[in-house]
Structure 1
Amino acid sequence: MGSNSDETIIENEDAPTYAPSIPVPNVQEMVRKEPAKIPDRYIRNDEDKPPITDMSHLSSEIPVINLSLLSTGETEELNKLDFACKEWGFFQVVNHGIAKEVLQNMKDATAEFFELPLEEKNKYEMPPDDIQGYGHAYVVSEEQKLDWSDALILLVHPSHYRKPKLWPSTPKGYREIINAYTKGVQKVGEQLLRAFSTVMGMDKDGLLALHKNLLQALRVNYYPACCRPDQVLGISPHSDTSSITILMQEADINGLQIRHNGGWVQVKPVPDALVVNVGDVIEILSNGKYKSIEHRAVTNQNNSRISYASFLIPQDDVEIEPLAHLVDSQRLMYKQVVYGEYARSSMQRKMEGKAHTEIAKIET
């Protein structure tokens, strides 16, 4: 990669920090030492536990969109996008243009990283004032229930916001692999935001211009197997503070569930597809026409699982409010928020459904 290698990126003193998180035990290590034990802090109340009712038959109804057709403005795919955002808040994209090899390299190298000894991974430990690095985010009190997962979180784009000391250098070439994968995701994100602009009645570059600079953060989640998966959650129910989120799943292990019609529906992996969901930013801009949907991750008894979530977000100082032409005769639902303030206020509280979107709502 020559002079563009991540190794040569100089640490930027102005790189943003986001929110502190209280240190908690490493789940993978805990399971390795005592696989048959679940500490109380992870056991969910009955209303939070994975439900008995099975809605997996609805998985096949989650829209699958062809990005190459969407990007050429194909009416049918644009209509499908509009439907997906109104009815589901989630969809899967195929023909997204990221090479299979790039996706596989990311999966292989990441699996290798999580198998490293804890002391090696802890070289990239989250600092006390931020959620970037290896560890746990959104832990704000000693009382809250903890998620059955560990994470590696990095701000990847623009490159001058990176904190190279938090980017793992093991396994060999991992930084370059992350770079190649997230570059591909950035391109997919830009194409998707152009399509969103079109279905939201804007000039096709309208949303990208509004973002000023399209930032991308990557969160890699590691969910160890659990002896009692019915007692824990891999990640608590939440909506994303992003504009859109692009997720790569394991090919053959279910774990992601989305809230739909009062229940939870599995998002079954489609081969080589990426899962996309509407974030809070699009909900606010669309005045609630498109909603960011609660989702969560469940665990299983036999296999660990890794997921790769890329959050595409506006620059900190961007002011987000409903687009005038989408309010029209409807009641104005959201007030103006400054994105950086909105995002940080949500990170300073535990993940709790859509509670943080109340900050942006106009009180009735």
Structure 2
Amino acid sequence: MATQIENSNELEYEKIAWGTSLPVPSVQELVRNDTKEVPPRYVQNNDNRPVIIFEPSQESAEIPIINFSLLADGDEDERTKLHLACKEWGFFQILNHGITEEVIQKVKTAVSGFFELPLTEKKKYAMEEDDLHGYGQAFVHSEEQILEWSDIMFLIIYPLKSRKTVVWPELPGFKEAVEEYSKNVERVRDEILGNMSLLLGLERDRLKEMHGEMKHAVRMNYYPPCPNPDLVLGIGPHSDATSITLLLQDDDVTGLQINHKQKWLPVNPIPNAILVNVGDCLEIWSNGMYKSIEHRAVTNKEKVRISVATTVFPADTTELEPVETMISEQHLSMYKRVKFLDLIKHGMAKTMDGKIFIEYAKEEDNQRP
């Protein structure tokens, strides 16, 4: 695999055609410069400001936990738990996934090492204005837009032709750690999608095949401490335009919140667990039986929080619509057929807020030119 990376033509990578994002200042650098107050452009409107909860939550403890080892062995009870988790929560944590603690710590160290670099070094890997590969912040469309209290690094992992290797940091061990972790996640990803296919009444490989040429990317998120965490959001409320997302969190820093039954619920990290959530593509394919859930990230005064999100999504040309097993006289299609590229472009042209992708998939005129 490494040889293929080194021999890939950096000038001929498959560019993401999703849209553009304006360059913005590094939030990490604002904090490094001893910012004592939140700059006005980061202050959320009153109705968007978070309630910060750091203590372990009993409700958070109710978020489903899936024993991946049992699931992979075909345990029907565990598969039923997966079904209920996707249907009632849209989120679940997986344990016993077979990714070693060593592999997990390596990728966490690699990501931390990148964000610890001086800004001049990180800027070598900055997103171009018409591209989303690299270091910066996505979904920024105007100078008046309220910004998020985070910096990101976005890398396409698979397929190889979609990699933009010039924005892969030349940091000792970085590529190897990201490669090894991603290869392990690929195995977990396929097992989860296989079980979801069976739960939707399909052949085991059907969901994977429906992606077309499946894309697998890693979004590395850095949330620096904030002097007034009740004024900002690390990431605003949104659902993912993916099929599924697999998130590796810091073990001891709570920051993710999910919108469960109209209440923002903090997700307590479980050491070495992977948090999985249903994306908009899976909601469409399941005809709304599985729901993509709004979630957001909050910050705190004292600690840096880093997360590694593996996003899984279809080829740009893939057309999304509910699968035949989810359609009946009693359950008509809730979504129009929509090309993934059109779905994602619609969202990228807006501020990431709420379920903008799903709203587009429900519009009567979503096939307009």
**TM-score class, shorter:** over 0.9
For the pair 1:271 / 2:283, whether they are aligned, the reply is no
Distance change (3 Å), C-alpha of 1:286 and 1:50? same
- The answer to whether the 8 Å contact 1:333/1:362 transfers is no
**For the residues of structure 2 that align with 1:150 and 1:64, how far apart are their CA atoms?**
29
TM-score of the pair, normalised by structure 1: 0.96
**For the residues of structure 2 that align with 1:107 and 1:52, how far apart are their CA atoms?**
25
Q: Which moved more, 1:242-251 or 1:53-62?
A: 53-62
Two-structure CA RMSD over aligned residues (Å) = 1.7
**For the residues of structure 2 that align with 1:333 and 1:235, how far apart are their CA atoms?**
28
Q: Which runs of 4+ in 1 moved over 2 A?
A: 1-4, 6-14, 51-57
Q: Tell me the residue number matched to 2:118.
A: 117
**For the residues of structure 2 that align with 1:123 and 1:162, how far apart are their CA atoms?**
16
Q: Tell me the residue number matched to 1:144.
A: 145
Q: How far has the Cα of 1:349 moved from its partner?
A: 1.4
**For the residues of structure 2 that align with 1:69 and 1:12, how far apart are their CA atoms?**
44
**For the residues of structure 1 that align with 2:289 and 2:303, how far apart are their CA atoms?**
38
Q: Tell me the residue number matched to 2:220.
A: 220
**What amino acid is the match of 2:115?**
F
**For the residues of structure 2 that align with 1:285 and 1:266, how far apart are their CA atoms?**
28
For the pair 1:204 / 2:207, whether they are aligned, the reply is no
**For the residues of structure 2 that align with 1:94 and 1:344, how far apart are their CA atoms?**
35
Tell me, what secondary structure is at the counterpart of 2:183? helix
Alignment of 1:1-364 (within 5 A): 3-4=3-4, 6-11=5-10, 13=12, 15-17=14-16, 18-51=18-51, 56-170=57-171, 172-328=172-328, 329-363=330-364
**What amino acid is the match of 1:267?**
V
Q: How far has the Cα of 1:356 moved from its partner?
A: 2.7
Superimposed CA distance per residue, residues 199-232 of structure 1 (whole angstroms, 9 cap, x where no aligned partner): 1111111101111222111100000000111110
**For the residues of structure 2 that align with 1:3 and 1:33, how far apart are their CA atoms?**
40
- The answer to whether the 8 Å contact 1:138/1:349 transfers is yes
**What amino acid is the match of 1:48?**
N
Q: Which moved more, 1:138-147 or 1:340-349?
A: 340-349
Tell me, what secondary structure is at the counterpart of 1:141? coil
Q: How far has the Cα of 1:2 moved from its partner?
A: 5.9
**For the residues of structure 1 that align with 2:136 and 2:56, how far apart are their CA atoms?**
32
Q: How far has the Cα of 1:12 moved from its partner?
A: 5.9
**What amino acid is the match of 2:191?**
Q
**For the residues of structure 1 that align with 2:57 and 2:91, how far apart are their CA atoms?**
15
Q: Which runs of 5+ in 2 are unaligned?
A: none
Superimposed CA distance per residue, residues 61-100 of structure 1 (whole angstroms, 9 cap, x where no aligned partner): 0000011211222111111011001111000011112121
- The answer to whether the 8 Å contact 1:256/1:267 transfers is yes
Superimposed CA distance per residue, residues 277-325 of structure 1 (whole angstroms, 9 cap, x where no aligned partner): 0000010011111110000000011001100011101111111101122
Q: How far has the Cα of 1:363 moved from its partner?
A: 5.0
**For the residues of structure 2 that align with 1:319 and 1:100, how far apart are their CA atoms?**
38
Distance change (3 Å), C-alpha of 1:85 and 1:121? same
**For the residues of structure 1 that align with 2:167 and 2:145, how far apart are their CA atoms?**
27
Distance change (3 Å), C-alpha of 1:221 and 1:52? closer
**For the residues of structure 1 that align with 2:254 and 2:128, how far apart are their CA atoms?**
32
Q: How far has the Cα of 1:361 moved from its partner?
A: 0.7
**For the residues of structure 1 that align with 2:155 and 2:138, how far apart are their CA atoms?**
12
**What amino acid is the match of 1:8?**
N
- The answer to whether the 8 Å contact 1:288/1:333 transfers is yes
Superimposed CA distance per residue, residues 4-49 of structure 1 (whole angstroms, 9 cap, x where no aligned partner): 4x33322262503232101111100011113312101111111111
**What amino acid is the match of 1:90?**
F
**For the residues of structure 2 that align with 1:304 and 1:2, how far apart are their CA atoms?**
31
Tell me, what secondary structure is at the counterpart of 2:105? helix
- The answer to whether the 8 Å contact 1:55/1:263 transfers is no
**For the residues of structure 1 that align with 2:219 and 2:118, how far apart are their CA atoms?**
20
TM-score of the pair, normalised by structure 2: 0.95
- The answer to whether the 8 Å contact 1:66/1:96 transfers is yes
Tell me, what secondary structure is at the counterpart of 1:16? coil
Q: How far has the Cα of 1:345 moved from its partner?
A: 2.0
**For the residues of structure 1 that align with 2:245 and 2:153, how far apart are their CA atoms?**
16
**What amino acid is the match of 1:163?**
K
**For the residues of structure 2 that align with 1:153 and 1:187, how far apart are their CA atoms?**
21
Distance change (3 Å), C-alpha of 1:2 and 1:327? closer
**For the residues of structure 2 that align with 1:290 and 1:331, how far apart are their CA atoms?**
15
Superimposed CA distance per residue, residues 91-137 of structure 1 (whole angstroms, 9 cap, x where no aligned partner): 00111121211110011121111111000000000011111100010
Distance change (3 Å), C-alpha of 1:284 and 1:13? same
- The answer to whether the 8 Å contact 1:55/1:265 transfers is no
**For the residues of structure 2 that align with 1:221 and 1:321, how far apart are their CA atoms?**
31
**For the residues of structure 1 that align with 2:49 and 2:234, how far apart are their CA atoms?**
11
Aligned length: 362
**For the residues of structure 2 that align with 1:363 and 1:318, how far apart are their CA atoms?**
19
